[in-house]
Amino acid sequence: GAGVSQSPRYKVAKRGQDVALRCDPISGHVSLFWYQQALGQGPEFLTYFQNEAQLDKSGLPSDRFFAERPEGSVSTLKIQRTQQEDSAVYLCASSFAGTSGRQTQYFGPGTRLLVL
Amino acid sequence: AQSVTQLDSQVPVFEEAPVELRCNYSSSVSVYLFWYVQYPNQGLQLLLKYLSGSTLVESINGFEAEFNKSQTSFHLRKPSVHISDTAEYFCAVSYSGAGSYQLTFGKGTKLSVIP
- pLDDT given at position A1: 55
| pLDDT digit string, tens, across residues B85-108 | 999 999 999 887 766 788 999 999
| Arithmetic mean of pLDDT over chain B | 91
Which pLDDT does position B6 carry in this prediction?
96
Contact across the interface for B101 and A33, Cβ inside 8 Å:
yes
10-residue block means of pLDDT along chain A (116 residues)? 90 97 95 95 94 94 96 96 97 86 88 97
CA angle B6, A47, A37 (to 5 degrees): 40
Q: Which residues of B touch A102 (CB under 8 A)?
A: 32, 51, 94
**Interchain proximity B101–A43, CB inside 8 Å:** no
User: Rounded to a whole number, what is the distance in angstroms from the first to the last CA of chain B?
Assistant: 41
**Interatomic CA distance for residues A97 and B103, integer angstroms:** 15
CB within 8 Å: A91 and B102 = no
Three-state SS sequence of chain B: CCCEECCCCEEEEECCCCEEECCEECCCCCEEEEEEEECCCCCEEEEEEECCCCCEEECCCCCEEEEECCCCEEEEEECCCCHHHCEEEEEEEEECCCCCCCCEECCCEEEEEEC
Q: Lowest-pLDDT range, A70-84, B20-34, B64-78?
A: B20-34
Is the Cβ pair B101, A108 closer than 8 Å?
no
Chain B residues within 8 angstroms (CB to CB) of chain A: 4, 6, 9, 32, 34, 36, 41-46, 49, 51, 90, 92, 94-96, 99-108
Around A41, how many Cα atoms within 13 Å sit in the side-chain half-sphere?
14
pLDDT digits (tens, 9 = 90+) for B10-26: 999 999 999 999 999 98
Decide if pLDDT at B73 tops 70.
yes
| Mutation target vs B (from A26, A89, A105, A106; most B CBs, 10 A cutoff) | A105
Q: What is the mean pLDDT of residues B52-81?
A: 92
